[in-house]
Structure 1
């Protein structure tokens, strides 16, 4: 494999090509890497990446000395899988109905052309037999499944494929806490008829780290996918979700919140296709950005003609600029071809209510504390559907950020 498919490759792209050439890829892995090389690391001249320039942020692959605060208490009954940047640690004992396989070899990634960093993660995993996971849920799993990611070195890649069988349910918590200079993670969900997944994601990293978390989800009839994500960003962080309703009556909830301090960048991008009748999507994203930080929201609902009839979809993005110098970029979109639908979207950004701040100060609450309390209440709405065992900790992480950084 050479860099001939890349036009004027950067140092990081040359290093990635060298990493790939050291493997013995199968056809699907070669196809995924070729899809990545058609665009290379995403950059601002690509419409969907114009506010999140990965090529500029990753000039070369290098280790980092700093790391995010990774302290979080997991649910006492959780089944934990740990990823250290190259391999998974899987417990010996699993719940009935839960099967986990460390898979070697290729596994097709159908959306490689649309998701370049997902294609990169797909091409870089499955070579050792320990870095690609297949997780099958064939019954209702009573214990929450926890995936913790903390990788070291210059680069880390992971791919996890979830197969949730008919009438089965999974509670899932994923904690991404950095550790590598550049990380690309791919999570794929396939939900059969009447299956359900309740997913909570926490992302943390340092000002030196670039992280991409790409998610795809395909929902059959009456399947339910609920996702709640909290991101603190990094030098650059992209959390991208592509979901497709493939069966009648499927439902999706995609909620998220981002809190961005000076020198941090986070990007929430979603694309939902209503490819079946009578499907429901609800999306609420809230953000708060301090001076020197950047928050990005891009959301799109696509409703095709005929198959998308009777769609019910709502998208809301609301953000606070905590200080002068904060940046927020937002692009909500509806692309509707069906004529019997209910779809709406909204986008607002502004500052905290001066009257509310004044009211709280008049009652003896210092201004920084008042700002933190109001911002916490604003953000908390988007986290209300998080898993019970970690919801309070997400709120506490939000509170800690606001006290220590966001409201200075």
Structure 2
């Protein structure tokens, strides 16, 4: 089968989809690349007729691919002192000459489809568009020790039509790594795929910040497979874009593993941010904690979709909790939420909660009576609401993330 055959499922492709097809066809054809693009072509760019994408229509937002004329995105967080920095410039990864002890990196020159994960059209697209002979856009990293030095991933692409980046982490038994990511590139359409495989007793602490303009469409996809007693902690702060999807899929394959997925989103006028996650408890005695908080002002849209799947028998003794809480700061703000529990095992503890509303008028009145201006009072209350979801962020950038949120809230106020 060729790339042309793989694209056959696309009906009435948009200009953007045609450009993506032409780009993939121009790359070196391999069975892996053809397979990955074929999986993407089953749906094409995600659209509102797909159940998991009904509030985040990438196809409608991305009608064409045109290079932005100026740098649009703002810097997110600064590089912590002593961090090992990997930079993706929109075409290739720039690796430091010396990596920390216990870290090895290898450039990959072929695509590999996501065979173990259903769906994920943006992940499959990124898989098909990376792994080129002439570019280091796909790098695999092995962690073979307890790496204390944080690894900083800087997605700082120059203005371009597209930017596709892929990383695959393999964390060996009882090894650990801490990642900090700044997603602030300037491509019209950027899609990032990061894969984690945590072996027995391994741990990953991932913190990232996303920011983009209303001229950009962004996809950030992550998958994590956890072995016995592994730990995966993720903390995210997102400001959205014209349309932005942050998607995380976690699968427990070893007993007594733990995952924590915390995130905060702040969406201003014409910004769209979607946090979607899917956790499969395919091993006994595993725990998941998930907290997502959001604040949306007039003209902004926030989306939360979370699902816990507990299969029969193998998911026994699962302990999982999912909470989503959102503030609609003004009339005209939109928040859509869909928390789900799909449980087939009979000895589990699973819970979810979802709330959305406005700031407490009594608290605002109390603060105004004590001389605090209305804008400042609203910002302070919203900040106090948001920061709970950022407490698990890496200590080197936690204060910066809170400052970013604080600056947004005062500007919106």
TM-score by length of 2: 0.97
Pick aligned residue for 1:277 from 257, 277, 284: 284
1:107: which partner in 2? 112
Unaligned runs of 5+ in 2: none
Q: Distance in 1 between matches of 2:77 and 2:138?
A: 25
Q: Deviations 1:261-296 (Å, cap 9, x if unpaired)? A: 000000000000000000000000000000000000
1:154: which partner in 2? 161
Retained in 1: the 8 A contact 2:91–2:135?
no
Pick aligned residue for 2:82 from 77, 84, 101: 77
Alignment of 1:199-210 (within 5 A): 199-210=206-217
Mapped pair 1:333 → 2:340: yes
- How far residue 73 of structure 1 moved from its aligned partner, in angstroms, is 2.0
Mapped pair 1:119 → 2:124: yes
Q: Deviations 1:86-106 (Å, cap 9, x if unpaired)? A: 011110111110001121123
Mapped pair 1:6 → 2:15: no
- How far residue 25 of structure 1 moved from its aligned partner, in angstroms, is 2.8
Mapped pair 1:167 → 2:171: no
Q: Distance in 1 between matches of 2:285 and 2:244?
A: 34
- How far residue 108 of structure 1 moved from its aligned partner, in angstroms, is 3.9
Q: Deviations 1:344-365 (Å, cap 9, x if unpaired)? A: 0000000000010001111110
1:243: which partner in 2? 250
Q: Distance in 2 between matches of 1:165 and 1:280?
A: 21
1:377: which partner in 2? 384
Pick aligned residue for 2:407 from 394, 400, 405: 400
Pick closer, same or farther for the CA change 1:37–1:71 going to 2, 3 Å.
closer
Pick aligned residue for 1:226 from 224, 233, 242: 233
1:138: which partner in 2? 144
Q: Distance in 2 between matches of 1:9 and 1:372?
A: 44
1:68: which partner in 2? 73
Alignment of 1:12-27 (within 5 A): 12-27=16-31
- How far residue 107 of structure 1 moved from its aligned partner, in angstroms, is 2.7
- How far residue 72 of structure 1 moved from its aligned partner, in angstroms, is 2.8
Retained in 2: the 8 A contact 1:262–1:291?
yes
Q: Deviations 1:167-215 (Å, cap 9, x if unpaired)? A: 0010101110030000111000000000000000100000100000000
1:180: which partner in 2? 187
Pick closer, same or farther for the CA change 1:281–1:112 going to 2, 3 Å.
closer
2:294: which partner in 1? 287
1:348: which partner in 2? 355
Q: Deviations 1:336-387 (Å, cap 9, x if unpaired)? A: 0000000000000000000100011111100000000000010000000000
Q: Secondary structure at the match of 1:266?
A: strand
Mapped pair 1:317 → 2:324: yes
Q: Secondary structure at the match of 1:391?
A: helix
Q: Deviations 1:61-116 (Å, cap 9, x if unpaired)? A: 11113412115322101000000100111101111100011211233421464100
Q: Distance in 1 between matches of 2:318 and 2:175?
A: 25
Q: Secondary structure at the match of 2:195?
A: strand
Q: Distance in 2 between matches of 1:91 and 1:178?
A: 20
Retained in 1: the 8 A contact 2:302–2:334?
yes
Q: Distance in 1 between matches of 2:227 and 2:116?
A: 18
Mapped pair 1:192 → 2:199: yes
- How far residue 29 of structure 1 moved from its aligned partner, in angstroms, is 1.3
Q: Deviations 1:285-327 (Å, cap 9, x if unpaired)? A: 0000000000000000000010000000000000000000000
More off after superposition, 65-74 vs 48-57:
65-74
RMSD over aligned Cα atoms:
1.0
Retained in 2: the 8 A contact 1:300–1:332?
yes
Unaligned runs of 5+ in 1: none
Pick closer, same or farther for the CA change 1:203–1:71 going to 2, 3 Å.
closer
TM-score by length of 1: 0.98
Pick aligned residue for 1:38 from 18, 25, 42: 42
Structure 1 consecutive aligned stretches of length 4 or more whose deviation exceeds 6 Å:
none
